[in-house]
Amino acid sequence: MDVYIVGSGMTSLGKFPDRPLRAMTAMAVEKALADSGLDNPSSIEAAWFSNTRQALLEGQNGIRGEVALRSSGISGIPITNVENACASGSTGFANALAYLKAGFGEVALVVGAEKMFFPDNRDGMFRAFKGSTDVLEFDSQIDALLSLAKGMPIPDGVEPAAERSVFMDIYAAFARYHMARYGTTQRQIAAVASKNHHHSTMNPDAQYQFDLTIEEVLADKPVSWPFTRAMCAPISDGAAAMLLCTGSALKRFNADRAVRVASCALVSSTDRDPDDLDNHVGRRAALRAYEQAGVGPEAMSVAEVHDATAFAEIIQIENLGFCPRGEGGAMTDSGATALGGRIPVNPSGGLLSKGHPVGATGIIQLHELTTQLRGEAGARQVDNARWAIAENGGGFLGYEEAATTVTILGGE
Ligand SMILES: CC(=O)SCCNC(=O)CCNC(=O)[C@H](O)C(C)(C)COP(=O)(O)OP(=O)(O)OC[C@H]1O[C@@H](n2cnc3c(N)ncnc32)[C@H](O)[C@@H]1OP(=O)(O)O
């Protein structure tokens, strides 16, 4: 059974100390409903609500979805709260898709909302990231990662930032491993950041809309070597919402603007050998999504990948099969992943520059791809976009993200 995206909306992203989670949720839902042509939510049969940190930072309880959606007039229907670290948005999407494909209903809503910026609680703001790891095994897992990275030692005199998310250290260790094994350079990692910052100058919803040259990225404040601040996703507030329906309900919406969901593969990490990148969680998700959709990487027109750090984009374009293993840095250097290149990656500006409100990110990526496939992306529009792919990863377990979703849209 085919499922379609028939309504999509997001808030602008940024640091909004005066904007509570409920207000952002209501803004995103209102936009998605308006986009779908519905003037009220009464035909929504089930909803998924993705959020990772309000329980930690605001003492909210476990019924965030029921609470936040009530002000949008959504109640009485099944509402499922989703927490799967930075992959929460796409996990909600995968579950809504399964519900529709199984025939339980015809119209479903997926919402991701996150409030991360608490200027009066900076310590808590950074500490909350650790909740997306195995906190009981954390020290031994970090030690294992650091030993993996020892082939590329941190240069003398480079100090980490005093305040940072633990994920910047985790991704830095992965990056150093990749540098030692494949010769990836810090400059190539900076090139990803420079490209994505340039893309975000064309995205009015992006948190940062300024250009940064590779030299400016390299000269920014060190966070965790090889990363500077401009190579790290920022602290962001924001929300996104999406209405999905089955083919049988499509006639109730504007079918011309509907976007088909071709596949969606959610997988979790394994105890793989650290050198066995053929079984990397991102690679396994990509292979499964391509198989379900019946297409391969060569068919893709545009991608949104989870660049929580600039290095992450390098390994994920390898996992998605856009280039051979180890050549993600060289592919970035070639310009193939920039707008106008062979396969533009993160035309939205990516997490690095558009922003990364973690529980909402998976849906924000799909919002961008929906906009691209509809031909409505303005200055950042990818020519003749027909197939689009998103990769959304979250948490840390073993030697990889704890969860990864790859979703393919379009093809009709
Ligand atoms: C699987 C996963 O997805 S894990 C990833 C989850 N997300 C994270 O872990 C978040 C990682 N980020 C961080 O830890 C922090 O944002 C840091 C350490 C990179 C930067 O923190 P700070 O130095 O405190 O910077 P701060 O957030 O106060 O920003 C200060 C200024 O730096 C600049 N800046 C911050 N981030 C960026 C960026 N990505 N690009 C360009 N400029 C930036 C902005 O001008 C910002 O100004 P603003 O406050 O008006 O927005």
Q: Which of 196, 229, 353, 392 for mutating ligand 1's site (highest number of atoms within 8 Å of CB)? A: 229
pLDDT value at residue 293: 98
Is residue 146 a contact partner of residue 82, using CB atoms and an 8 Å limit?
A: no
Q: How far apart are CA 314 and CA 170, in angstroms?
A: 15
pLDDT value at residue 61: 74
pLDDT value at residue 60: 75
pLDDT value at residue 402: 97
Is residue 25 a contact partner of residue 113, using CB atoms and an 8 Å limit?
A: yes
Give distance in angstroms: CA of 347 to centre of ligand 1.
Answer: 20
Task: List all residues 6 or more positions away from 173 whose beta carbon is below 8 Å from its beta carbon.
Answer: 142, 145, 146, 148, 149
Pocket of ligand 1 contains residue 129 by CB under 6 Å: yes
Of 238, 233, 235, residue with least CA distance to 13: 238
Radius of gyration of the chain (CA): 20
Catalytic residues: 86, 356
DSSP state of 1: -
pLDDT value at residue 62: 78
Give distance in angstroms: CA of 120 to centre of ligand 1.
Answer: 16
pLDDT value at residue 56: 82
289 residue type, one letter: A
DSSP state of 133: B
Q: Which helix (H) or strand (E) holds 5?
A: strand 3-10
Q: Are strands 222-224 and 238-246 parallel, antiparallel or unpaired?
A: unpaired
Pocket of ligand 1 contains residue 52 by CB under 6 Å: no
Closest residue to atom 29 of ligand 1, CA basis:
234
Pocket of ligand 1 contains residue 31 by CB under 6 Å: no
Tens digit of pLDDT per residue, the chain (412 long)?
899 999 999 999 999 999 999 999 999 999 999 999 998 899 999 999 999 998 888 877 778 999 999 989 999 999 999 999 999 999 999 999 999 999 999 999 999 999 999 999 999 999 999 999 999 999 999 999 999 999 999 999 999 999 999 999 999 999 999 999 999 999 999 999 999 999 999 999 999 999 999 999 999 999 999 999 999 999 999 999 999 999 999 999 988 999 999 999 999 999 999 999 999 999 999 999 999 999 999 999 999 999 999 999 999 999 999 999 999 999 999 999 999 999 999 999 999 999 999 999 999 999 999 999 999 999 999 999 999 999 999 999 999 999 999 999 999 6
Closest residue to atom 12 of ligand 1, CA basis:
234
Burial of 307 (0-12, 13-18, 19+ CB in 10 A): buried
Q: What is this structure's pTM?
A: 0.98
Residue matched to tokens 């558009």: 354
Q: Which of 217, 232, 316 for mutating ligand 1's site (highest number of atoms within 8 Å of CB)? A: 232
HSE-up of 356 (CA within 13 Å, CB side)?
A: 27
State the closest ligand 1 atom to the C-alpha of 401, by its place in the atom list counted from 1.
1
ipTM attached to this prediction: 0.98
162 residue type, one letter: A
